[in-house]
């Protein structure tokens, strides 16, 4: 029970979550007034993400994170890799897209060649670049870091779970290739932190700091690798969806381009001779065999 009762509010993240909830609720009410359906599971995922974000940034992890390095590490990883997936799974971008155009900068930073590399870079800055030390030394900077981690995590997760993602199959395939490489890169910060015999975050300079740093390195290594697998699965599923969508669009365009409005393969002389005269009007039937 004490785990739930220990709180130290992160007012900046709390305010940002309140604004986001307000925008989503307003968009949901407009959608409901228009009579358009919206899956309840999306609302559940979004609500779970908001609650987990509030607890992670203001609950016991915030209270004890300054005292124990592995607790602080768990807090940062939750904000970077877990909470954003729940928030984005609620499809807030798709919900707001009806009234707000997706910013061009969001599409640029979410490019498949960039987004999978954010996790190892962010972890490197936290533990070896001085960002973690700065955040632990200043509460406002810690709050800003929480928001930054949520934003980076959302950029990584959005293309994987956004049902209205407009990327081509080539772009998704490139994201999968980069994701395989990132599976190896994600292990580097955790391995280095685990094996390092010098203190990387001076804030945790206390008796037993080496054991704490090794525990944090093991946690970083394990979580980053384990969570990479679901991300790769989501990328493969996204690739399959995009391929199907592009196949339907190409078939429709070819059918419209046919001079008589008939199926596109009958507009081609070779295919017409092969399928039309024989009374077989579906060449894809042979491909399915």
Name the average pLDDT for the chain: 81
Percent of the chain beyond pLDDT 70?
72
Give residue 287's pLDDT band: very low, low, confident or very high (50, 70, 90).
very low
Handedness of CA 138, 144, 148, 154 (dihedral sign): positive
Answer whether 45's CB lies under 8 Å from 38's CB: no
**Confidence check: pLDDT of 42 > 60:** yes
pLDDT tens per residue across span 92-104: 887 876 655 556 6
Answer whether 77's CB lies under 8 Å from 69's CB: no
Alpha-carbon gap, residue 14 to 143, rounded angstroms: 10
The encoded tokens of residue 18 equal 């309140």
Query: Stretch 197-207: mean pLDDT, rounded?
Result: 92
Answer whether 116's CB lies under 8 Å from 178's CB: yes
30-39, 152-161, 192-201, 237-246: range with highest mean pLDDT: 192-201
Alpha-carbon gap, residue 182 to 186, rounded angstroms: 6
Query: Stretch 208-235: mean pLDDT, rounded?
Result: 85
**Confidence check: pLDDT of 19 > 80:** yes
92 closest CA partner among 43, 40, 48: 43
Q: Say if pTM beats, i.e. exceeds, 0.75.
A: yes
pLDDT tens per residue across span 110-164: 666 676 678 888 999 999 999 999 999 999 999 999 999 999 998 888 776 666 5
- Range of weakest confidence among 64-78, 120-134, 146-160, 257-271: 257-271
Query: Stretch 74-85: mean pLDDT, rounded?
Result: 93
**Confidence check: pLDDT of 281 > 60:** no
Query: Stretch 241-260: mean pLDDT, rounded?
Result: 71
Query: Stretch 11-31: mean pLDDT, rounded?
Result: 93
Query: Stretch 55-74: mean pLDDT, rounded?
Result: 94
For residue 220, give every residue at least 6 positions away whose Cβ sits within 8 Å of its Cβ, in sequence order, or none. Answer: 73, 77, 123, 127, 189, 190, 193, 194
Alpha-carbon gap, residue 78 to 43, rounded angstroms: 20
User: Could you give phi then psi for residue 147, rounded to 5 degrees?
Assistant: -65, -40
Give residue 62's pLDDT band: very low, low, confident or very high (50, 70, 90).
very high
For residue 275, give every residue at least 6 positions away whose Cβ sits within 8 Å of its Cβ, in sequence order, or none. Answer: 265, 266, 281, 282, 283
Alpha-carbon gap, residue 198 to 205, rounded angstroms: 10
pLDDT tens per residue across span 170-189: 766 766 676 677 677 778 89
pLDDT, position 151: 93
Query: Stretch 33-56: mean pLDDT, rounded?
Result: 92
Query: Stretch 231-260: mean pLDDT, rounded?
Result: 72
């Amino acid at each position: 029970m004490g785990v739930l009762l220990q709180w130290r509010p992160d007012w900046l993240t709390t305010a940002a979550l309140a604004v986001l909830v307000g925008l989503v609720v307003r968009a949901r009410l407009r959608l409901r007034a228009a009579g358009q359906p919206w899956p309840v599971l999306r609302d559940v995922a979004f609500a779970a993400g908001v609650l987990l974000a509030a607890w992670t940034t203001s609950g016991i992890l915030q209270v004890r994170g300054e005292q124990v390095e592995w607790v602080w590490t768990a807090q940062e990883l939750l904000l970077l890799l877990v909470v954003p997936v729940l928030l984005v799974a609620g499809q807030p971008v798709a919900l707001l897209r009806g009234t707000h155009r997706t910013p061009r900068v969001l599409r640029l930073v979410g490019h498949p060649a960039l987004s999978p590399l954010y996790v190892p870079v962010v972890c490197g800055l936290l533990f070896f670049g001085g960002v973690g030390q700065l955040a632990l030394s200043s509460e406002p900077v810690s709050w800003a870091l929480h928001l930054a981690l949520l934003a980076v995590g959302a950029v990584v997760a959005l293309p994987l779970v956004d049902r209205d993602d407009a990327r081509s199959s080539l772009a998704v395939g490139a994201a999968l290739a980069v994701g395989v490489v990132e599976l190896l890169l994600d292990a580097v910060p955790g391995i280095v932190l685990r094996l390092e015999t010098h203190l990387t975050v001076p804030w945790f300079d206390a008796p037993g700091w080496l054991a704490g740093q090794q525990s944090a390195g093991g946690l970083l290594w394990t979580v980053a690798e384990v969570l990479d697998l679901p991300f790769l699965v989501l990328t493969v599923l996204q690739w399959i969806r995009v391929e199907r969508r592009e196949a339907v669009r190409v078939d429709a365009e070819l059918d419209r381009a046919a001079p008589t409005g008939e199926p596109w393969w009958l507009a081609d002389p070779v295919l017409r001779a092969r399928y039309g005269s024989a009374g077989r009007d579906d060449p894809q039937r042979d491909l399915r065999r």
